[in-house]
C-alpha cells in the first residue's frame, strides 16, 4: 500500500505541474519541488486518463496526438497518431474559460466526447476515461522533476 501511495504521489506531483510543464516546450515550472510533486500526485489521482501523448499547438487551440498508448481508453476508442483533438464535450480547446468547467468532468470512469479532426474531417468520439497507470505517472513525474527542478551537481 505504501508503494502504491508513493508512486501515486510521485506521479501526481509530476502531473500536478504538468498543466504547466506539458503546456508547451520552453516552460519552466515556477513551483518548488515539493509543491509541484504534491500537485501532480493529486491531479493524477483525480483526473481521468485518456492515454495519449500530445503535441500542443502554440495557440493551444488544437492538440495533435503524437502517440496512443497501447491498451488505453484512447486506443479502445479508436484514436490514432496524427488525429487532432479539437474540442472536449463540445468546448473548443481555444476557449480557456469553457475548458475550466469541462475539466471538472474529466474524472476516472466518466465518459467524455472528443471532437477529432483527421485529414480535414471532424468526428465525435466517446471515451470512457481510465485511471492513470502508476508506472506512467512515476515516469512523467520523474521526468518533470529532473527537467524542471533538478540542480546540477558538481562531480569531482
DSSP result, 42-67: HHHHHS-B--EEEEEPTTSS-EEEEE
For the entire predicted model, the pTM comes to: 0.70
Angle, alpha carbons 46-50-81 (nearest 5°): 155
Run means of pLDDT, 10 residues per run, the chain, 156 residues: 36 35 53 86 88 78 90 96 94 89 90 92 96 88 84 58
pLDDT for residue 61 = 72
Domain boundaries, the chain: 1-47+132-156, 49-130
- For domain 49-130, give the fold: Pdz3 Domain (2.30.42)
pLDDT for residue 65 = 94
C-alpha cell of residue 34:
515539493
Amino acid at each position: 500500500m505504501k508503494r502504491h501511495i508513493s508512486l501515486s504521489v510521485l506521479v501526481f506531483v509530476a502531473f500536478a505541474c504538468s498543466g504547466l510543464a506539458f503546456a508547451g516546450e520552453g516552460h519552466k515550472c515556477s513551483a518548488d519541488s515539493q509543491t509541484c510533486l504534491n500537485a501532480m500526485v493529486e491531479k493524477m489521482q483525480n483526473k481521468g486518463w485518456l492515454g495519449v501523448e500530445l503535441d500542443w499547438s502554440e495557440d493551444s487551440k488544437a492538440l495533435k496526438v503524437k502517440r496512443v498508448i497501447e491498451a488505453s481508453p484512447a486506443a479502445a476508442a479508436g484514436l490514432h497518431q496524427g488525429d487532432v483533438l479539437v474540442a472536449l464535450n463540445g468546448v473548443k480547446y481555444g476557449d480557456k474559460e469553457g475548458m475550466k468547467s469541462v475539466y471538472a468532468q474529466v474524472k476516472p470512469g466518466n465518459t467524455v466526447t472528443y471532437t477529432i479532426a483527421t485529414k480535414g474531417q471532424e468526428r465525435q468520439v466517446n471515451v470512457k476515461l481510465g485511471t492513470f497507470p502508476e508506472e506512467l505517472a512515476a515516469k512523467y513525474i520523474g521526468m518533470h522533476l529532473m527537467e524542471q527542478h533538478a540542480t546540477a551537481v558538481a562531480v569531482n
